[in-house]
Chains A and B, each alone.
Chain A
Amino acid sequence: MAHEQSQQHPIAIYLWIWGLLFVLSVFSYLVDYLGFEGHLKWSLITLFMLLKAGLIVSVFMHMAWERMAIMCAILVPPGVLLVLMGLMALEANHTLVTRLAFFFN
């Protein structure tokens, strides 16, 4: 356990991120409250979600200050989940079309 450095950062950065997370949460709640629809709604929800996730992982979980080796080991593998999501979206659409074709005509 020779070369360990501890994660010490000024308190201001945590308070700033905390505040930003509050503001972003208000924004994502407003998307629902104001009743946006369609692509505008989905893209805003996704944008605020990714910004919040990024702030939590990089600052609160200290990933921004870690070495590239652990960043890549942890953050790259979840990328394959996008492939799973894409495949299952295709599959689900196919199921829907089949159901509509066989049960609703």
Chain B
Amino acid sequence: MAPGIKGLVSDWSSDQRAFKNVPWGKAMMWIFLLSDTFIFACFLVGYMTVRISTTDTWPDASEVFALNVAGESVPLLLIAIMTFILISSSGTMALAVKFGYEKNRKATAILLVLTALLGASFVGMQAFEWSKLIGEGVRPWGNPWGAAQFGASFFLITGFHGTHVSIGVIFLIIMATKVIRGALDDQRPGFLTGRKGRYEMVETLGLYWHFVDLVWVFIFAFFYLW
């Protein structure tokens, strides 16, 4: 098969399949992620629009999300820790995919469980952050520090992202169970879809998980740092 632009033309003009070398589950995951990109982008653009057009001052995220450590206020501390946790979980996921293709069942299972634990701790910290802000009086319609739209943007964007992380954790646990049972080695059909188990499934789940990390990169930059 021709590489590069020539390959692009021949792939798209070929019969039956445009995406060569890609299992269909993975191609469909990519297309789902593309649609999810548009959803998150619409939220972020909406946030940009209300932030530009408001006449009130926008609350300073650096102060809003500061934590007190030993009597000193450290800006964005919790958010920084959450960022490192999510990046670490992406790292363990990438390694899980690698060991999956090597059919190393034990290492894959351990790494998937580790990824799920990191993801769950991320959601836990987000719950802590939400309750802290709600305690301080942040609501979707107002807050003590400035533009009312701050709360609406915050709860919508981080809430939708947190939901994605939670769903990812559930699927990581399901996949880890499959790996531990040996369902991927034996190509056992799945409980819900009846699809044969194969190690490409770990990579497809990995795509979803890395995407969740990717979205956080943009939220971290635009919402917390900007």
Residues of A at the B interface (CB closer than 8 Å) are: 1, 3-9, 11, 14-15, 17-18, 21-22, 25, 28-29, 31-33, 41-42, 45-46, 48-49, 52-53, 56-57, 59-62, 66-70, 72-74, 77-78, 81, 84-85, 88-89, 91-93, 95-96, 99-100, 103-104
Contact = CB atoms under 8 A, between A and B. Distances in A.
Nearest to B226: A45
Nearest to A93: B52
A73 B18 contact: yes
B68 interface: no
Interface residues of B, number: 67
Interface string B79-116: 01001100110110111011001100000000000000
Nearest to A85: B45
B156 interface: no
Contacts of B75: 32-33
Contacts of B20: 3, 67, 69
Nearest to A42: B226
Contact of B225 (A14, A32, A62): A32
Contact of A68 (B5, B22, B211): B5
Interface in B177-226: 199-200, 203, 206-207, 210-211, 213-214, 217-218, 220-221, 224-226
